[in-house]
Homo-oligomer: A and B are copies of this chain.
Amino acid sequence: MITFELVAMDSKTSARAGILHTPHGDIPTPVFMPVGTQATVKTLPVWELKELGARIILNNIYHLYLRPGIEKIVKLGGLHSFQSWDGAILTDSGGFQLFSLPDLRKVNDEGVLFQSHFDGSYHFITPEKATEIQFAAGADIIMAFDDCISLPASIDKLEEAVDRTISWAKRCKEKYIQLIEESNVANPPSLFGIYQGGTDIDLRKKALEKILDIDFPGIAIGGLSVGEAKDDMLSVLEETVPIIPEDKPRYLMGVGKPTDIMDAVTRGIDMFDCVLPTRNARNGSVYTWKGKLIVKAGAHATDETPIDPDCSCKVCKRYSKAYIRHLFNVGELLAPHLATYHTIYFYLDFIRKMREAIIDGNFSKFCERFRSEFSEKPDTPSDAR
């Protein structure tokens, strides 16, 4: 089972460094979990994930349920064996993925009826089913099934989603206890709870308290980074994260940009995931210590320097911007791979350095310096070809 060990707390902020003990290794926190939607962090073989220092990745149970199907994954020995990954795995419950396809789904208190995004087949997912398939797939951390809605939303809609998420969380926990009792798994997954409530602070607090009552070993903040203003997101963190007991890891789902991650670490968050770095990289836009860089832009066509001269990754040691730009320009498969490798290296390096700064008591200085050197605005116009 998952346990969380607190290693250091920043004296000026709520930032903290810890270790998440999992059946598949210890994970220093704060941690960024690269997203492997379909049981592969896009373009990266497992030996490169290892090399990059990834200790935990995320898989999407919604996608895997549709293809190849959970029974196939179970037959092939579970998620770790299937993708040949011996680090830790977190699966999300599908709540957010179902939220992403509003035209294809119908929600009621029992569960969600949806149509497969690839073959149109109908499926009905309940909290019990979401728990059962995640449990069977065999991740280290599985997530309660939640009702995630887009923002802004009316208070009625928000309350409905909160109540449903709480009721579903209880049903997930009950199913989980039953599965633990029935199964003979040596290292069963740990079930994390999720609280919703949009940007309404009172609703968030109420939701969090109910979720804490159910007693999960880890708490996730869901339903943020879905259209709200950044300050509103940060207020939710400031007002609710301190309520979570110190010994529970806090996971901010789906966030995000490097500066968002830093601001959330400052407010006590331990765990992150986001498709942004891998998705951007595939599209020719990478991160460096100076900010975003459109490496596929024509402006780099004769630039002999690496993506980031301050980066020690093997892509930056070997390849120039000009070469990577050429690969994007002629549509070569190596292009998204090299860009992804560098970007994940940057993300993991960035979060590792934040952790070191927290432990060394330099976190505020680190943030100040990062903020002064890093820009989310790309240094090259995206249409420069």
Contacts and interface: CB of A to CB of B under 8 A. Distances in A.
Interface of A: 38-40, 42-47, 63, 67-68, 72, 75-77, 82-84, 282, 301-302, 304, 314-315, 318-320, 322-323, 326-327, 329-330, 332-334, 336-338
Contacts of A304: 76-77
Given A67-B326, A84-B319, A336 B334 contact: no
Given A302-B72, A333-B336, A323 B43 contact: no
Contacts of A40: 327, 332, 334
A329 B67 contact: yes
A317 to B, nearest CB: 9
A323 B72 contact: no
Contact of A68 (B38, B301, B319): B301
A296 to B, nearest CB: 13
A326 B39 contact: yes
B84 A332 contact: no
Contacts of A322: 68, 72, 76, 82
Given A68-B301, A72-B301, A333-B336, A46 B318 contact: yes
Nearest to A318: B84
B43 A337 contact: yes
Contact of A326 (B68, B301, B330): B68
A330 B75 CA distance: 19
A280 to B, nearest CB: 15
A39 B323 CA distance: 9
Contacts of A326: 38-39, 67-68, 82
A298 to B, nearest CB: 10
B320 A76 contact: yes
Q: Which 10 A-B pairs have the closest CB atoms?
A: A84-B318, A43-B333, A68-B326, A38-B330, A40-B334, A40-B332, A67-B330, A75-B302, A76-B322, A84-B319
Nearest to A327: B40
A304 B282 CA distance: 30
Given A47-B318, A67-B329, A84-B323, 13 more contacts: A38-B327, A38-B332, A43-B334, A45-B315, A68-B329, A72-B322, A76-B320, A77-B304, A82-B323, A82-B326, A83-B323, A333-B333, A337-B337
